[in-house]
A and B are shown apart, each in its own frame.
Chain A
Amino acid sequence: MGDIRQSLLPRDVLSAAKELLYHLDIYICNLVQSGRQPPQVDSKTLELVEEFILHAPKDRNTPTRRMSALQELQLLEIMCSCFQEQSRDTVRQLMFSALFNLQGNQADESRMALLSKLVSMAIAVGRVPILECAATWLQRTHRVYCVRLAQVLVDDYCSMVPGSVPTLQNIHSASPRFCCQFITAVTTLYDLTSEELSPPLELLQMIVSWIQDDPRLVLITFLNTPLSGNQPISSLDVTPLGGLMRWCIKAPLAYRSDKKQALSSGGCESEQEVGPLFSALHLSVLQVLMLLPTILNEKGLYGRLALLQMEALAALVSDLSRLLDQADKHTHLSSADVHTLSQLALDRLAQALQVSMASGALLCSREDLRAICSRLPHNNLLQLVLSGPVMYYNNIHTPPLAFSPHAAHSPITSHPTHPTHPTHPTHPTHPMTPTHPTLPTHPAHTPHAPLATHPSAHPQYPAQPFMTGMPFPYRPSH
């Protein structure tokens, strides 16, 4: 394909780009038809793309060709229809890769610029094939670039043009995969570490409404991706769960940093909306987590795949710890408010940790959790979660039943390995010794090697005992 360069050179920038796209399309079609595996676009072709479409300077001798804004718009239009008209997914995908896969060279900057414009345009005019390609791109590309794309889109739709949020809202129905990746990217971008890194209210509202409408949206990428284990390093998380969790947990203390901004823009009412939004979002996250055991079991990954990473959680906890320290120093809040907000954040942390563990999204022991949470101030629920449920479950409400996860066992002491836990001393009435032979500290019970960290430290909780009554597809309606 390199031989067409000569024919491209005399042309003007736009027609050269058009010509190249045309040849690229034919080239990739042939490539796919040849059946060579894997279909690989050669470097010559990539260079042509960089020279005639991205207009990266090939060498110092050649003058830089630039497109006018109008020409660029025309090119984007051509690209849009090009992807739209290509009926074969493979061809389209290869073409998108040839154009926008980062090559680690100078052209990457213009590549990102063009990509951002193309995706933004695709959102505006509803070009689903491009969004699908972009979703894949967001899965394969380093998170730094993903975040950059997200930033452009948020700027375009949430900041630059007022009233254009509904257009962005549509990506939920246009391409759920892209939407899911977009959420992941956005939650990665906005980590609530500073005012700038707080999600705009419009974005937050949009994401909450998406997930409330369809909690499974959050899991789309995970559900559609064969987890071969060769996830590109430093790519985005496979789900936005971790990022969303971070938002919800930090928000009571951190989202206030947005308050000044909100106040200055006269949006006092928006401030009051934020609390319920995060509350609803937090609930949605827990509900999505509750869907996981079935899915993980279906994929044969229960106990083997950690959707949430301990490192990320540890970072979150340390962030929270810092926020809690700072909160006390805030002068514009009463100490009662500070306490309430702190407890809310800790409640959410405890809930997220507990439900993640119970649903198999987080593979660690309670001991591990205690280790990372040791610096946090007291919170009743957190204490309960860190110590785990009292396992000698003498519930007066429920007679022992066959289905009970405990029925098969003799009464088991709550924490045989941690008899000296401050809030949960071993039950003095318990007849069993703490060193029950059937309960090793970290039971190596999984026949297959775990994919990440530890399996659940609570083998008494096999596959979601609370889900036994779930033989039919069930979608929470909120």
Chain B
Amino acid sequence: MSAQKDCEFLVKRARELVSDDPCAAKAWLITARTLYPSDFNIQYEMYTIERNAERTASAGRLLYDMFINFPDQPIVWREISVITAALRSDSQDKQAQFLRGLFETLPGRVQCEMLLKATEQCFNTLEKAEMLLLLLKRFPESVVQHGVWDYTADLSFLVNVTLITLHCLFAPAVCDVLPLVINNMDMRLPASLMQKYMLKAAEFYIGYVTRGPSADAQIQGKGTQEALKSPSVPRTSQRYVIDGLSEKSSLVAEPWERLLDILAVVGARCEWQGDKGQRSYVDMLQRVKELCRYLPGLEGDTRARCCSQVVICAALVLFRSAFLYISAVQPALFQGVNALSSGPWILVEDLSSVYSEVELERGVVKHAHKKRKLPDGREKTMSSDDEEGSGKGRGRHILLNKTEMPGWAETLESFRTARESWDLLHSHDGLESEFKKICAAWKTDSWLWFRIFLTDMIIYQGQYRKALSSLHQMAAVQQPQPGQQSPSGQVTLEHHRALIQQASCHYALGEYKRACEKLLDVVGALMPPNQEQTKASEDQGRVKTKTRKGNDLRLLPCTCKAVLPFCLQLMLACFKLRAFTDNRDDLSLGHVVVLLQHDWPQGELLFLKAIDKICQQGSFQYENFFNYVTNIDMLEEFAYLRTPEGGRIQLELLPNQGMLIKNPSPALGVELNTLLLQGVQTMERHHTVTRGITKGVKEDFRLAMERQVSRCGENLLSVLHRFCINEKIIIIQSLP
């Protein structure tokens, strides 16, 4: 009989007995263990019995024995890893609770030893990170005592593994381990390492805060599909789970605050200047701004330290402020940002003064054929906005409908703070190069939200050419693929946003044709709203801004009811320049008349200018007139133009029609006049409409006017929407 056979016999007997008489089974195993103390299977059988009976204390004791006596047994490690997994998880099932209880029965020293060894044995980096976390949470002193520092000293072992997503690795490492490490005053860490950790932490927290909605969140929150129509649909998904981590460990509370905490510790340990207990990002920016003034006078290490401080602090302020701005402007980009009552917003040129600037525009337009003009009257060459841009954008106002964006003041303040931080970071070569290193390490180029911010910033700075190239790049990325147009309305929405912004930039650059091209692409995809509801709010915005001079920007809600009016205004702005040149351009003038119907009577003055111009010309040809002009005042005015009193203007307003002759038929005129001029008391009762060479022409015009009057009740926006869609080609062609 061999020892092995003895052991097999003893274990077999115990197994036979365990169900009927567990005490006897244990008696056999105790005996067996005294006979063969170094046989693993006997002890494992003992452990199994205790574990199956869920007796935590005795199972824990036996596990520890095996842990000590059989350190190379895979079964022991499998068991320990099951237990450590239970410790890491927040599962409430009975087995996990038992395993946690089992672990808790072990004395602290043994727990620490077990975790240390288990950590050593981890090959999976994520697990290793979680084990370290577990270890450091329970036994912070082990960092020093047991050389856990060897594992954590270079957190890069976590960083360099690219297989697992950033979140997986960093969540435990950054949120929990790092504070423990940097707060451990027993460890003397070089400042460079501290700063490296700081940046790692920042990278994690920023990545966490700005993470996009996950796939399941999109399925859950299908409301995004309708975002263009109803931006107030709140995002339903409030569960943010970092891939690969249990829910417990993936929630990070107050990430920006925690980042600030870490920054405070790192600052203190790196002996940063005047860095005592700063509690807000705004304070921090002010401090480093002051610090920056001394920077040129500093040398060597002091200068390097000061540089790091400025760059890290300013960069954090920049990213936080930019995030706050974008989370208000583009809330759907982020998971966890509550998009309640705030849809996407587009930063565009403010056009609310489009109706009131005839004189100014005329002055500019005189030279339009020679030079491109900005709407604010500044001269501008096509290619040189890059170098002058940054100086030009100072002091521009951003207008918005304050009732639609509750936190508008904060949002604009964040935008301003972010720009200031950006400027600060680019105020010295040394700072800029440091900052670029951070950006390169974090691959900020690939952060869509940050690109959106940068684009808005350069638009603000007036660097439209740069902004356009950025928008083109984004549009290329975001271009909806034929197959996946919808249901993810997010893509179309974002696409529209980029197009509108491009149109605004083209307009600002004086590239009206391209501006209109982009606009008409957008309008083509819009559904016209049923009713014109925006009037009241538009009026409010306009009253306040009447005195501004077109230098302003506007945050426009990316909704159908806001976008369509904006498009119409922008087209009007494009065409009115051409329409009111000294050269005759009836087509542009006609478009202007059509577009002026919107928001009537805001454009009344401009309309009168147009009538003046028609009168000066003596004739006017616009074959789409009856398709798109339904405004009773305008119809009346045109009807009047044909009368002798109106100057017998030759109007060619019907499609494929010859010249109209200024001879109105009295019989017809009376009848039409009664139709047309019912409410106008001052209007003379005369033959006002036609006096054509042929009766047919007169008849056509009369009938057309008649029909047109009956269309007065038609939804104007639908008419104008149709105008944009049907006349797209001619509209674009009519611009140079």
| Interface residue ranges, A against B (CB under 8 Å) | 275-276, 279-280, 282-283, 286-287, 290, 347-348, 350-351, 354-355, 357-359, 380-381, 384-385, 388-399, 401, 403-406, 423-424, 461, 465-466, 468-470, 472, 474-478
CA distance A398 to B473 in the complex (A): 64
The 6 tightest CB contacts between A and B, nearest first, are A358-B34, A469-B68, A466-B37, A390-B3, A469-B65, A283-B23
Please report the total number of B residues contacting A with Cβ < 8 Å: 41
Is there contact, CB below 8 Å, between A355 and B61?
no
B interface residues (Cβ-Cβ under 8 A, vs A): 1-4, 6-7, 9-10, 13, 21, 23-24, 26-28, 30-31, 33-41, 55, 57-58, 61, 64-65, 67-73, 107, 110
Do A280 and B6 touch (CB < 8 A)?
no
Q: List, in ascending order, chain B residues with CB within 8 A of A465's CB.
A: 37-38
Complex CA distance for A475 and B21, rounded to whole angstroms: 21
Given contacts A276-B23, A397-B39, A478-B55, contact A355 B3 (CB under 8 A): no
A393: contacting residue among B3, B23, B41, CB under 8 A = B3
In the complex, are the beta carbons of B1 and A477 less than 8 A apart? no
Q: Can you identify 19 A-B contacts, CB atoms within 8 angstroms?
A: A275-B21, A282-B27, A283-B27, A286-B27, A355-B31, A357-B34, A358-B35, A380-B9, A381-B10, A388-B35, A389-B3, A390-B6, A398-B40, A398-B70, A401-B71, A406-B38, A465-B37, A466-B34, A476-B58
Minimum Cβ distance to chain B for residue A416 (Å): 16
What's the minimum C-beta distance from A459 to chain B, rounded to whole angstroms?
Answer: 14
Best-buried of A282, A388, A390, A405 by chain B (most CB within 10 Å): A390
Complex contacts, B69 vs chain A, CB 8 Å: 401, 403, 468-469
- Chain A residue nearest to B59 (CB atoms) is A477
Closest CB in chain B relative to A329 CB, distance in Å = 26
Query: Most A CB atoms within 10 A — which of B38, B41, B58?
Result: B38
Q: What distance in Å separates the Cβ of A388 from its nearest Cβ neighbour in chain B?
A: 8
In the assembled complex, the CB of B142 is this many whole angstroms from the nearest CB of chain A, namely: 18
Select which of A351, A384, A394, A398 is within 8 A of B30 by beta carbon. Answer: A351
Known: A282-B23, A389-B6. A287 touches B36 (CB 8 A): no
Q: Are B24 and A279 in contact (CB under 8 A)?
A: yes
How long is the Cα–Cα vector from A415 to B532 in the complex, in angstroms?
106
Tell me the smallest distance from the CB of A202 to a CB of chain B, in Å.
Answer: 20
Contact A355 B30 (CB under 8 A): yes
Alpha-carbon distance between A474 and B110 when the two chains are bound, in angstroms:
13
Given contact pairs A276-B21, A390-B1, A395-B3, A404 touches B35 in the complex (Cβ within 8 A) = no
Q: Which residue of A lies closest to B68 (CB)?
A: A469
CB distance from A247 to the nearest CB of B (A): 14
Chain B, residue nearest A406 (CB): B38
Main secondary structure, interface of A, reads loop
The contact of B39 among A279, A380, A395, by CB within 8 Å, is A395
Tell me the nearest residue of chain A to B67, going by C-beta. Answer: A469
Does A472 lie within 8 Å of B57, measured CB to CB?
Answer: no
Cα-based distance from A384 to B110 in the complex (angstroms): 35
Look across to chain B and name the residue whose beta carbon is closest to the beta carbon of A278. Answer: B23
Residues in B with CB closer than 8 Å to A358 are 34-35
Q: How far apart sit A475 and B27, CA to CA, in the bound complex (Å)?
A: 16
Q: How far is the CB of A297 from chain B (nearest CB, A)?
A: 16
Residues on A with C-beta less than 8 A from B21 are 275-276, 279
**Which of A276, A347, A398 has the largest count of B CB atoms less than 10 A from its CB?**
A398
Q: Is the CB of A395 within 8 A of B4?
A: yes
**Which B residues lie within 8 Å of A401 (CB)?**
38, 69, 71
Q: How many angstroms from the CA of A397 to the CA of B75 in the assembled complex?
A: 11
Residues of chain A contacted by B110 (CB below 8 angstroms) = 472
In Å, the complex CA distance between A52 and B269 comes to 87
Determine the distance from Cα of A478 to Cα of B26 in the docked complex, in whole angstroms. 11
CB-contact partner of B68 in A354, A424, A468, under 8 A:
A468
Min CB distance A248 to B, Å, is 9
Q: Which residue of B lies closest to A383 (CB)?
A: B1
Whether the Cβ atoms of A466 and B1 lie closer than 8 Å is no
A424:B65 contact, CB within 8 angstroms: no
Given contacts A276-B21, A389-B6, A390-B2, contact A381 B37 (CB under 8 A): no
In whole angstroms, what is the CA distance A458 to B55 when docked?
A: 33
- Measured between alpha carbons, how far is A358 from B33 in the docked complex, in Å? 10
Within the assembled complex, what's the spacing in Å between the Cα atoms of A279 and B3? 27
CA distance A478 to B37 in the complex (A): 22
Residue in A404, A470, A472, A474 whose beta carbon sits within 8 Å of that of B38 in the complex: A404
A469-B24 Cα distance, complex, nearest whole Å: 24
User: Are A396 and B4 also in contact (CB < 8 A) when A283-B23, A351-B27 are?
Assistant: yes
CB of A243, distance to nearest CB on chain B (Å)? 18
Q: CA of A168 to CA of B486 in the docked complex: distance in angstroms?
A: 82
Closest to A472 in B: B107
Q: Which residues of A contact B71 (CB under 8 A)?
A: 401
A217 vs B698: C-alpha distance when bound (angstroms): 124
Q: A424-B1, A469-B69, A477-B55 are in contact. List 10 more A-B contacts (CB 8 A).
A: A279-B21, A347-B24, A348-B27, A350-B31, A351-B27, A385-B31, A392-B3, A406-B38, A469-B67, A475-B57
- Once the chains bind, are B27 and A394 in contact (CB under 8 Å)? no
B6 partner residues in chain A, CB cutoff 8 A: 384, 389-390
Shortest beta-carbon distance, B154 to chain A, in Å?
A: 32
Distance, CA A287 to CA B61, complexed state (A) = 14
Q: How far is the CA of A351 from the CA of B29 in the complex (A)?
A: 10
> Which residue of chain B is the closest to A212 with respect to CB atoms?
B23
Please determine whether B34 and A359 come into contact, CB atoms closer than 8 angstroms.
Answer: yes
Contact of A478 among B30, B58, B64, B68 (CB under 8 A): B58
Q: Are the CB atoms of A394 and B68 closer together than 8 Å?
A: no
Query: How many angstroms from the CA of A399 to the CA of B40 in the assembled complex?
Result: 10
A148 to chain B, nearest CB (A): 33
Contacts of A348 in B (CB 8 A): 27
